[in-house]
Structure 1
Amino acid sequence: AEWYKCEKDIVDLQNQLMKQGQGPGARAIYEESAESLASVVSLIRKDLADGSLERLLAYQMSLDMILEQRTAKLMTVDFKDTRLNQLKQTREALQESLGLQAATLISQQPGLVSYKFDGLEETLNAASLQTLSAAQIQQHLDQSQGLLPSLAAVQRDQPVLRLFANLHQTLALVLDGNQVASFPLDSSHTLTITDSGLPIEACRVVRLEKEGDQTLVVFQTGHRTEWLADRRTVDLTVTLSRATGLKVPYEALIEPDHERQEAGLMLVVEGFTRLSRVSIKATDRVSAIVEPLASQAYQPTVSTILVVNPKTIEEGEFIGN
């Protein structure tokens, strides 16, 4: 508890010093993390608007990850403040004290230590993902939780930690439809963590199979291995095709009709809100690519001002120039 309080005091003091203009580079670190945080918050708002709460735990994990990364980066910034230096010394002393009170385990093999596991380590691994069918993998996905659990209590002779020594992580995706042409063997792709928008680069296709009305794609990557190590499942966004056009926030769409591929947009024209129907060319959970309809009196362009919260305003209202 004392260590956590010291950590919180450090973060609070860093925030205070940054607001005073101290700590070169601190503002850039905050702005970098703010973009990722805003992306997750946007997804949360969309799910809440749709009445969906099932993904809140995944969002919480993404927010925690972004904040942890920001805290780690801020620790390298020299704020040139005596109070902050004293707090850091106190934290180091507490860490050393905790270490002296604990037994030391020595491993002859390098790797990452994790205290999280679910008992499927022998069943789901890089080798088994080369032989399991898409149905078997999907069954494991349906029965697994995203973040591996920590043991609340242990018994004698029970494993309490595992050593992650692989240089690569293996990711298996089951996609709807025939997607074989999009993922040739040995091709490299960038996958995106849906909740945070962070990329997983250099994902190489090591297995590709069409099974029924689904396609099984197995990737191998050396990126974000530490973050992936404690997760059994993760929501990923895969780019199957690309579209060009006007990009708008998904939450700005009014009553999107995905069958007709149309939606409404609230535009600001000479200070008044005007409704315009547009054609939807592509969407994801964050944004949409749209195209103006020739039949509409008001058509969005690159410089058009949009109402991004159209549920709170009526058409024809004056909101100012």
Structure 2
Amino acid sequence: MKKIKYSNFFLLGIFIYIIFHIISFIASKTIQTQVLENEDNKMKISRKCIIVRDEYLLKSDINGTLNLLVDEGSRVSKSQEVASIYNNVDSDIDEKINALDEEIDKIKAGEINISKNEINNFNENIELIVSKIQNDLLEEDYSNIKEYKETLSNYVNDKNKLLNNGIDTAKLSAKEDEKEILENQKNNNVFTCLSSIAGIVSYKYDGNEEKYTFTNLDSITKSDIQKEVDNYKEIKTNSKEVKSGDIIARVINNYDAYVATYIDENEVSYFEENQSIVLCNNDEEIDAKVYKINKENDNYIAIFKINNQNMGIYDTRVKEFDIIYKQIEGLKIPKSAIKTVDNKEGVYVINEEDKTPNFIELKGIIYEDDDYKYVDYYKNKIDGVSTVDLYDKIILKPNIININMKIE
């Protein structure tokens, strides 16, 4: 009986040994690992933002017909004319005044009453006399020179008299009176809209231009950001009737803008005043700085300032941005892979020769977030620090089983 029992125990031991190795083999095949690479890591949060610009709405002071003088998207200088509004006068009054200026110039130049043929006849006669004088001088015949000179003088004097007397003074006076009447009509009935700032002209507005201003930055709340939507409206175009107080254009200072968003309490440590950040949307990257952080109850409002970007999003109030607050180059270690052994933080690195995991202490940690720690690979290499290395294969979720087995 004892022999049978010992035999059974022996067979049971062999069976357990085989099962253990089978389980270990299968487990080694399913262990998650990661090869370490030196990466350019971007620390970011994604957030809805409100864009605040230095912008100015141009409004009409009278009822009338609108005439826009600047194309949308064009840049204007301070005090430049952007539009004209005509009340009880034709919108082409400027064209009529310009046409009168041309007629007046022509009258003063004597071009109205003198035909080209008359001028040509004088020029031909003068050239003929000059030619005769030259021929006689070559042949040394001086008998007719005096007569030719008198004739030449008479032609020149007659031509000058014709030119000087060609101005129709009556017609000139009438045209100047007509121009004066039109100019008086224009001065009394045409409102010229001037830009109060230098910037880009847009013919869209959303009605929030006076709410979201540089002076009201501290008043922006999380609720404002969450509920705000884009609601830009088209402004009336050329030859449309406008009323006093109607908005006719918007001028935007494209050199300065702010972006406001909310951040959680656990995110506020990522930002500090004057810190450089990058705002990303699709393929667009915009450099900015942290202008200020305002506390609002349990929330924080971050204000970012954009300088000299010529940011071409003039007709957008709300935009989703990836806010990159830090960029790190290094080895990215998941916190799930980190264990503490003998009061040292480290990871299990698989030895490529015998496939066994070895505990390696992490050194040169330069940053950590909720999920990862980052090791400065190049600095460790230069300083000769013994720690994890480029292309090390680490176990992502080490436990008592997989740290004591060969990893296939």
Fold-level similarity (TM above 0.5) = no
Q: Which has the higher contact order (CA 8 A, sep 6+)?
A: 2
TM-score calculated relative to the size of structure 2: 0.31
Normalised by the length of structure 1, the TM-score is 0.38
Q: Which has the larger radius of gyration?
A: 2
Structure with higher strand content = 2
